[in-house]
Amino acid sequence: MVPSPQNIDLEKERKEILNAYKGLLRASKDYRNAEDTRIIRKAFDLSVEAHKDMRRKSGEPYIYHPISVARICCEEMGLGTTAIVCALLHDTVEDTHITLNDIEEQFGLKVRTIIDGLTKIPEVFDDNISLQAENFRKLILTISDDLRVTFIKMADRLHNMRTLGSMRPDKRLKICSETEFLYAPLAHRLGFNAIKTEFEDIIFKYKEPEIYKQIELKLEKTKEVRNRFIRQFTNPIKDRLDNENLNYSVKARTKSIPSIFKKIQNKHVTFDEIYDIFAIRIIVDVPFENEKPVCWKIYSMVTDFYQPNPDRLRDWVSTPKTNGYESLHTTVMSPSGKWVEVQIRTKRMDEIAEKGYAAHWKYKDSLSQDNTFDRWVGEVRALLENPEVNAQDFIDEFKLNLFSEEIYVFTPKGDLRVLPKNATTLDFAFDIHTDIGLSCIGAKVNGKLMPLSHILKSGDQVDIIRSKQQKPKEDWLKFVASARAKSKIKGALNEEHKKIASDGKEILQRKLRQLRVTWNSENIQALEKYYGISGSSEFYFQIAKGKVDLSKMRQIEINNHDFVLEKKASQRVESSELETIIKKVDTKKDTIIIGEDFKEFEYKLANCCTPIPGDNVFGFITATDGIKIHRTNCPNATQLMSNYAYRIMKATWQSDRLKERLTALLITGIDDMGIVNEITTIVSSVIGVNMKSISFESEDGTFEGKIQLYVYDTEQLDQLILRFEQIEGVKQVSRI
């Protein structure tokens, strides 16, 4: 609740704002001189004046936000004066009377360009195009222009995430979904590891609050034991490092809560069974030319004390990741029988790992061989070359490689290429050059002949085989994994489609001349409708392919050389229902009470997540099927909330119990005689629960069972899960 003006101590606020500004100056002291300080003060004064009457949802003065964003830029990203000035001014053009011309007059063209990039796109396009997708597209366009736009946007989103507590719950979920959809993967690709981890942590905190609290409590309870173990483990290593007179530091990094939960889910283990809750990080400060030998020397010291796991050695010092990450990882066995991950890196590597490409920029002169990020920016530019792709397709293509794991493959001459996991020989061909990809008919992988669809592994050596007769095919899109290959194949297919469509257009023109029928847009539309083909390009393409019987045109009545067809008012079937609902519904204020009528509109429970009473839910206005009710943790929720925020609305359950709903459970554990009987007995003993199906599979002494049940609400489901978990031998029960 925003405080009323009479309750605000303006003098106290003024002092607090000045203190926040002084904190920014302290954080940026290593980046600025006297002239920089003057420019930063000028930007601060302008921002304070422009935002003087504005307050955030929390009630605090709005100026705290740009100051916080500027501080993130310099303190957590290592950016300089220009970024600090732009961060202080980033909302002025969008939210106040300040114009871009004012910015340029006072701070110059570079600052104006960055501020322009940070200003959101106005809401002036078709409802069927996602506003968020357009905003994301503009954000991505700036990557190939001035990276500072993207960095400041990332800092802006980080501060908004840190202050989510003052937002409405539904607004929090939408912002979390947007962040999960694009900002977290983008932070990963830009190398902002600390920011990516914090994004994921906050998202999980608000999306799964109960699970978050449980894991947080367990981490707190085991903290002292963990710290004692870390001291005992690192003491002998520290002694050896001291003897070598190395300038180093040793840190313990606790695994993030979302990562711990993911491991519990994927490995089907309990919290206590996760061996890598933390990792030991050894950071050494040495000159660039000594980095690699010193890292391996420290590895040798660690393995003198503890036995390494040969399958868990990761050498990103010799071959950095595409986001610039460099480190040497090994997992060793401690004296107590626990595996411990040890990360070895230099101070420069650590700064790049935490501050991403902003730090990479700082060291770029000394990294003559390191061009992985520049290659990625080149791929972004390649994606931007296709102006026909719509915003949503563009985002999907761009996201394809943001979070992908990587493999390392060699050319016949021994050059290293980095590709996404599951990349095929065709991906490799397109990675070398577009023309090589388009003419590729196969490859020799490690000397053996392999097809285009062969999935490559790290260490493979690939020699592409080409043919001038080869042409791109639609099927190629099914087995390429890289955004670059997909984009180039689609572009080539579009060009091929256009050539064929051009031939079809000529065929149709000749046919109409024979029938002495006028060539105009109305007649072409009439023909498309008659043959049931949408779009002139596709119509011409089908004609050229011989799939349209043009002899049937004689059956259409002709008058004065024009087709005579009854013209009906064009209908946008797909969007008419959507537009009707959006016009009559206030998505911010209206709430669907499930079990009661909602205005005159129909709503249904979504099949993808089968919500039941007690689940947190939201409504989504579909294009053709009314309103669908989804769980907030539905697999599709993130995409819906981030791309179609204007079609999301609140929904809640009626207080009375509704009819029974279908849900499914996955049960895993130790195989034992009679366990299936115990489970079915429990199902039949809980009043009102009916079983639709049950299936069990057993392998090597363990079992996995799936049960489909009809229940009334989550309370009844939780009662069942608790009873199942009490059966001896059952390890985990989870909802599918």
User: Strands 603-605 and 627-631, how do they pair?
Assistant: parallel
Structural tokens at position 269: 């283990």
- The secondary structure of 407-470, three-state, reads EEEECCCCCEEEEECCCEHHHHHHHHCHHHHHCEEEEEECCEEECCCCECCCCCEEEEEECCCC
Q: Is 406 one of the catalytic residues?
A: no
Task: Work out the burial of residue 398: count CB atoms within 10 Å of its CB; fewer than 13 is exposed, 13-18 middle, 19 or more buried.
Answer: buried
Buried b (16+ CB within 10 A) or exposed e, 303-335: eeebeeeeeeeebbbeebbbbbbbbbbbbbeee
> H/E element holding 584?
helix 573-584
pLDDT digits (tens, 9 = 90+) for 160-201: 899 888 788 888 888 888 888 778 888 887 778 888 999 999
- For residue 666, pLDDT over 80 is answered with yes
Q: Which domains does the chain have, with CATH numbers?
A: 5-205 (1.10.3210.10), 392-491 (3.10.20.30), 492-563 (no CATH), 573-653 (no CATH), 661-735 (3.30.70.260)
The per-residue pLDDT for range 113-147, each reduced to its tens digit, is: 888 877 754 433 334 445 555 566 666 665 556 77
Q: What is the mean pLDDT of the chain?
A: 79
pLDDT (mean) for 270-280: 79
- The answer to whether residue 94 is catalytic is yes
Q: What is the pLDDT of residues 239-264, one digit of tens each?
A: 999 998 899 999 888 888 898 888 88
Q: Does the predicted TM-score (pTM) go above 0.85?
A: no
H or E, element range at 410: strand 406-410
Nearest-CA neighbor of 651 among 623, 615, 626, 607? 615
Tell me how far apart the alpha carbons of residues 699 and 513 are, in angstroms, rounded to a whole number: 72
Burial class (CB in 10 A: 0-12, 13-18, 19+), 298: buried
**Which position among 9, 45, 49, 94 bears the catalytic label?**
94
- Max CA pair span of the chain: 101
pLDDT at position 235: 92
84, burial (CB in 10 Å: exposed 0-12, middle 13-18, buried 19+):
buried
Over range 319-329, report the average pLDDT: 83
pLDDT at 714 over 50: yes
Tokens, residue 231: 């001291």
Q: What is the pLDDT of residue 559?
A: 45
Q: pLDDT tens for residues 472-506?
A: 888 888 888 887 888 888 888 888 888 888 888 88
Strands 278-284 and 248-254: antiparallel
Identify whether the C-beta of residue 434 lies closer than 8 Å to the C-beta of residue 338: no
Burial environment of residue 211 by CB neighbours within 10 A (0 to 12, 13 to 18, 19 or more): middle
Q: In what order do the strands lie in the sheet with 448-450?
A: 448-450, 440-445, 462-466
Partners of 566 in the beta sheet?
Answer: none
Residue 427 reports pLDDT greater than 70: yes
Q: What percent of the chain has pLDDT over 70?
A: 82
Task: Give the model's pLDDT for residue 572.
Answer: 40
- Per-residue pLDDT, averaged over 225-241, amounts to 91
Would you say how long the chain is, in residues? 736
Encode 670-690: b = buried (16+ Cβ within 10 Å), e = exposed: ebeeebbebbeebbeeeeebe
pLDDT at 202 over 90: yes
Are 677 and 705 in contact by the 8 Å Cβ rule? The answer is: no
703 is written with which tokens?
Answer: 């079992």
Say which residue, 94 or 367, is predicted with more confidence. Answer: 94
Strand, coil or helix: 563: strand
pLDDT in tens, 605-655: 888 888 888 888 889 988 777 889 998 888 888 888 887 888 888 888 876
Q: Which residue has the higher pLDDT, 407 or 688?
A: 407
* pLDDT at residue 369 in the model: 41
- Of 714, 659, 633, 711, residue with least CA distance to 177: 633
| Average pLDDT for 513-533 | 79
Q: Range with the lowest mean pLDDT among 68-72, 150-154, 356-360? A: 356-360
d(CA 84, CA 81): 5
Give me the mean pLDDT over the 560-580 stretch. Answer: 49
Choice among 95, 244, 562, 697 that is catalytic: 95
- For position 11, what pLDDT does the model report? 80
Does residue 366 have a pLDDT over 70? no
At position 150, the amino acid (one-letter code) is: T
Task: Give the least confident one: 89-98, 135-144, 520-529, 631-640.
Answer: 135-144
Least confident of 163-167, 203-207, 350-354, 595-599: 595-599
